[in-house]
């Protein structure tokens, strides 16, 4: 790991930082030139430099710069970023540095087509919450978060408007060895940061992270000249976290679509195959997508003489597949080509092994589809003077079946309640996640009977699925704060929407976390 924060934290007390030697260097990455030319036989490096200076009042400051060293087109040395000054006399001298990095990350965030992430309207991040984050976490945890922030800011510096060799070193020598920091597997500070800064900054921050991961995954799939890139060791890249408050349990999840596990596909190798140009552009556009999910459950706690009753119900399930980009006119032909949710599975319940739950009650029976049968009989005949009786009969039977796009079920796993929503073809009744094609889901973002929002999202509210579930707990648990688990599994499918393509696939991602359940009576 880079561990840049440890190096920065030790600067004020560094014995090597004398008055005569005010410049200290942290080498982020370096490589020797492979050229045989005598004019290009040098070591190329990306460096973080710290320079100390004093003003007329003898106050001491430090300024950080990111420099390129030894690249031919950079005139041997080139500065590509300069920080604001950090006062060493302050109790938190490097708070301005962290604020600057975070602000620049949110301001460089890719937009979502038809999205409203207000990066241009974001106010400067307030220093007090960021200062509290620095104080409330261990140096080891905060160091991981700072590495993540610095890696994200360094992405824009090393990939755009610099020699291509700089980007190659960044992906191979900086991002690759430190990829676990980017996948947020061990980032408790990131959770605190996202909860603290608000949902607008959270969206911009996570879309920047998703864009970087999407680029990484594309390079892994293409593999031309980049076979040495470190593979992802985690199950899937991305980040999720859960919170409790105001009677809600909320689970939020972010993951690039190309990092989700493939469950069904007509491209066996899962890579960019040799295909015609239009198909290649389509696959490239689909690779720049991110799933953004909010699972929000409402819970109630009631105290009775012999037990405690805990009830929960679905309040909001929101799923959006964001097309990450910088210009709404880029690949406009493919702007409405996106994956769509085809199945959602949400579960909530006590931690595994708990013995304080006496029973679990579901609020919905397994659906038994309704069918209307209409019968009509017509009888014709002739009577009277006719010598031969002449009778004609005709019968008509009509069957009507009521079907919805989404089928909701409830189930249990141990003491956990499971909410399951499956997207079905309203014409055939087949489950979309297991189908290869369905003409009824072309042009799926238009028309009055569409199953998604105009921007390709999906929202379930309490009026769609209002029945709740309930647990009976021992009265002995009164006054405790229990750990309750909440999780979600989402399947995304893709079929062509407006373009001509036979490509289809279904991908899946799973998140799980813990939330608090306070069993404290309100006085």
Q: How confident is the model at residue 70 (pLDDT cuts 50, 70, 90)?
A: confident
**CA gap 166, 423 in Å, rounded:** 46
Identify the three-state secondary structure at position 71.
coil
Contact 148, 193 (CB under 8 A): no
User: 91: which 2 tokens?
Assistant: 């109790």
Q: Is residue 97 part of a domain?
A: no
189-202 pLDDT tens trace: 999 999 999 898 99
User: Position of tokens 């030894």?
Assistant: 70
**CA gap 195, 239 in Å, rounded:** 13
Q: 459 and 500 share a domain?
A: yes
pTM here is: 0.87
List Cβ neighbours of 177 (8 Å cut-off, separation of 6 or more).
1, 230
105-149 pLDDT tens trace: 988 888 755 555 555 555 578 899 999 999 988 888 899 899 999
Q: 309 and 441 share a domain?
A: yes
**CA gap 378, 393 in Å, rounded:** 6
Q: How confident is the model at residue 37 (pLDDT cuts 50, 70, 90)?
A: very low
Q: 377 and 520 share a domain?
A: no
Most confident of 11-20, 63-72, 461-470: 63-72
Q: Is residue 29 part of a domain?
A: no
Contact 335, 113 (CB under 8 A): yes
**Largest distance between two CA atoms of the chain:** 132
Contact 437, 510 (CB under 8 A): no
Of 38-52, 120-134, 167-181, 397-411, least confident by mean pLDDT is 397-411
How confident is the model at residue 73, as a pLDDT?
A: 65
Q: 394 and 461 share a domain?
A: no
Q: What is the dihedral of CA 330, 457, 507, 113, to 10 degrees?
A: 10
Q: Is residue 295 part of a domain?
A: yes
pLDDT at 496 over 60: yes
3 state SS for 199-241: HHHHHHHHHHHHHHHHHHHHHHHHCCCCCCCCCCCCCCCCEEE
Query: What integer best gives the mean pLDDT of the chain?
Result: 83
pLDDT at 19 over 70: no
Q: Is residue 462 part of a domain?
A: yes
Q: Is residue 124 part of a domain?
A: no
Entry field: residues in the chain: 523
- Rg (the chain; Cα; Å): 30
393-439 pLDDT tens trace: 666 666 655 567 888 889 999 999 999 999 988 777 788 888 877 66
Contact 311, 378 (CB under 8 A): no
- State which residues form the domain around 493: 245-253+286-361+406-523
Q: 326 and 313 share a domain?
A: yes
Q: 327 and 455 share a domain?
A: yes
How confident is the model at residue 140, as a pLDDT?
A: 86
Question: C-alpha distances in angstroms, 29 versus 150, 166, 174, 237, 358?
Answer: 14, 10, 6, 23, 58
Identify the three-state secondary structure at position 520.
coil
The mean per-residue pLDDT over the stretch 310-314 comes to 95
Contact 100, 84 (CB under 8 A): yes
Residue 424's φ and ψ, nearest 5 degrees, are -125, 150
Q: Is residue 185 part of a domain?
A: no
What percentage of the chain has pLDDT greater than the value 90? 43
List Cβ neighbours of 224 (8 Å cut-off, separation of 6 or more).
none
Question: If residue 487 lies in a helix (H) or strand (E), which one and from where to where?
Answer: strand 481-494
Q: 392 and 426 share a domain?
A: no
For the chain, how many structural domains are there in total? 2
Higher pLDDT, 490 or 180: 490
How confident is the model at residue 490, as a pLDDT?
A: 97
Of 215-219, 299-303, 507-511, least confident by mean pLDDT is 215-219
How confident is the model at residue 38, as a pLDDT?
A: 41
333-350 pLDDT tens trace: 787 888 999 999 999 999
How far does CA 239 lie from the centroid of its chain? 6
430-484 pLDDT tens trace: 888 888 776 677 778 877 778 888 888 899 887 767 679 999 999 999 999 999 9
Q: 298 and 349 share a domain?
A: yes
Question: If residue 32 lies in a helix (H) or strand (E), which one and from where to where?
Answer: strand 23-32
Q: 381 and 515 share a domain?
A: no
How confident is the model at residue 506, as a pLDDT?
A: 93
Q: Is residue 515 part of a domain?
A: yes
Q: 294 and 385 share a domain?
A: no
Q: Is residue 421 part of a domain?
A: yes
């Amino acid at each position: 790991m880079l561990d840049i924060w440890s190096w920065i934290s030790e600067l004020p007390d560094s014995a090597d930082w004398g008055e005569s030697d005010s410049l200290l260097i942290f080498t982020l990455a370096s490589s020797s030139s492979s050229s045989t030319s005598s004019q290009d036989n040098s070591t190329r490096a990306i460096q973080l430099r710290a320079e100390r200076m004093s003003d007329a009042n003898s106050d001491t400051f430090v300024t950080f710069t990111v420099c390129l060293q030894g690249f031919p087109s950079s005139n041997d040395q080139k500065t590509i970023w300069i920080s604001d000054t950090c006062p060493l006399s302050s109790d938190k001298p490097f708070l301005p540095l962290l604020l600057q990095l975070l602000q620049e990350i949110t301001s460089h965030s890719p937009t979502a087509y038809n999205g409203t992430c207000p990066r241009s309207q974001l106010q400067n991040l307030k220093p007090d919450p960021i200062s509290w984050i620095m104080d409330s976490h261990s140096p080891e945890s905060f160091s991981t978060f700072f590495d993540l922030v610095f890696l994200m800011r360094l992405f824009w510096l090393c990939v755009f408007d610099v020699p291509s060799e700089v980007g190659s070193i960044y992906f191979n020598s900086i991002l690759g060895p430190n990829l676990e920091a980017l996948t947020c597997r061990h980032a408790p500070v990131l959770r605190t940061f996202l909860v603290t800064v608000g949902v607008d900054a959270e969206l911009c921050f996570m879309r920047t992270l998703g864009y970087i991961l999407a680029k990484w995954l594309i390079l892994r799939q293409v593999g031309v000249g980049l076979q040495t890139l470190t593979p992802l060791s985690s199950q899937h890249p991305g980040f999720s976290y859960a919170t409790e408050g105001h009677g809600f349990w909320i689970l939020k999840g972010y993951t690039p679509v190309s990092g989700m596990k493939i469950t069904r596909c007509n491209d066996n190798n899962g890579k960019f195959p040799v295909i015609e140009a239009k198909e290649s552009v389509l696959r490239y556009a689909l690779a720049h997508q991110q799933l953004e999910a909010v699972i929000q459950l409402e819970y109630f706690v009631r105290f009775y003489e012999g037990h405690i009753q805990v009830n929960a119900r679905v309040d909001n399930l929101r799923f959006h597949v964001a097309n990450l980009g910088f210009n709404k006119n880029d690949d406009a032909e493919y702007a409405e080509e996106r994956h769509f949710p085809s199945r959602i599975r949400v579960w909530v319940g006590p931690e595994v092994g708990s013995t304080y739950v006496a029973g679990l009650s579901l609020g919905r029976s397994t659906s038994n589809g309704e069918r209307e049968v209409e019968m009509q009989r017509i009888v014709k005949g002739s009577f009277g003077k006719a010598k031969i009786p002449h009778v004609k009969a005709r019968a008509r039977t009509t069957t009507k079946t009521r079907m919805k796009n989404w089928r909701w079920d409830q189930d249990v796993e141990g003491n956990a309640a499971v909410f399951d929503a499956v997207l079905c073809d309203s014409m055939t009744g087949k489950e979309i996640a297991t189908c290869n094609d369905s003409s009824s889901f072309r042009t799926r973002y238009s028309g009055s009977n569409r199953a998604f929002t105009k921007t390709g999202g999906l929202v379930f509210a309490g009026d769609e699925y209002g029945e709740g579930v309930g647990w009976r707990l021992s009265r002995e648990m009164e006054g405790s704060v229990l750990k309750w688990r909440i999780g979600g599994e989402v399947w995304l499918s893709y079929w062509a929407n407006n373009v001509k393509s036979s490509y289809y696939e279904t991908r899946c991602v799973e998140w799980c976390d813990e939330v608090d359940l306070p069993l404290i009576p309100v006085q």
